[in-house]
């Protein structure tokens, strides 16, 4: 079953390759959506896909790349609105 998640990741997650790490994981998992830095220092991840693959992305988001230090991750389930059209990195 498809669903949508919006994740907010806090910690040392900007300037450490976090967005590219998430982008690569999302492509490997065949997810759609985006990842972007927020002005307050957090990273937002919006992803659409199968339950199992979304949970894999959440687990990878908690770990991050070696240079990152994730202090917290919050998640919001959203109403599934359909295919998003690929996965991208936003500014």
Residues recognised as catalytic: 19, 37
Closest CA to 60 of 16, 29, 15, 84: 29
CB 32 within 8 A of CB 56: no
- CA distance linking residue 19 with residue 57, whole number of Å: 12
């Amino acid at each position: 079953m498809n669903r949508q998640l919006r994740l907010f990741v806090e910690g040392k997650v900007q300037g450490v390759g976090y967005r590219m790490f998430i982008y690569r994981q999302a492509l490997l998992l065949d997810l759609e959506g985006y990842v972007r830095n927020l002005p307050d220092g957090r990273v937002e991840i919006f992803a659409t896909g199968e339950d199992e693959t979304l949970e894999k992305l959440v687990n990878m988001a908690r770990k991050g790349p070696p240079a990152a230090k994730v202090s917290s991750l919050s998640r919001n389930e959203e109403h599934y609105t359909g295919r998003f059209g690929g996965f991208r990195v936003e500014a």
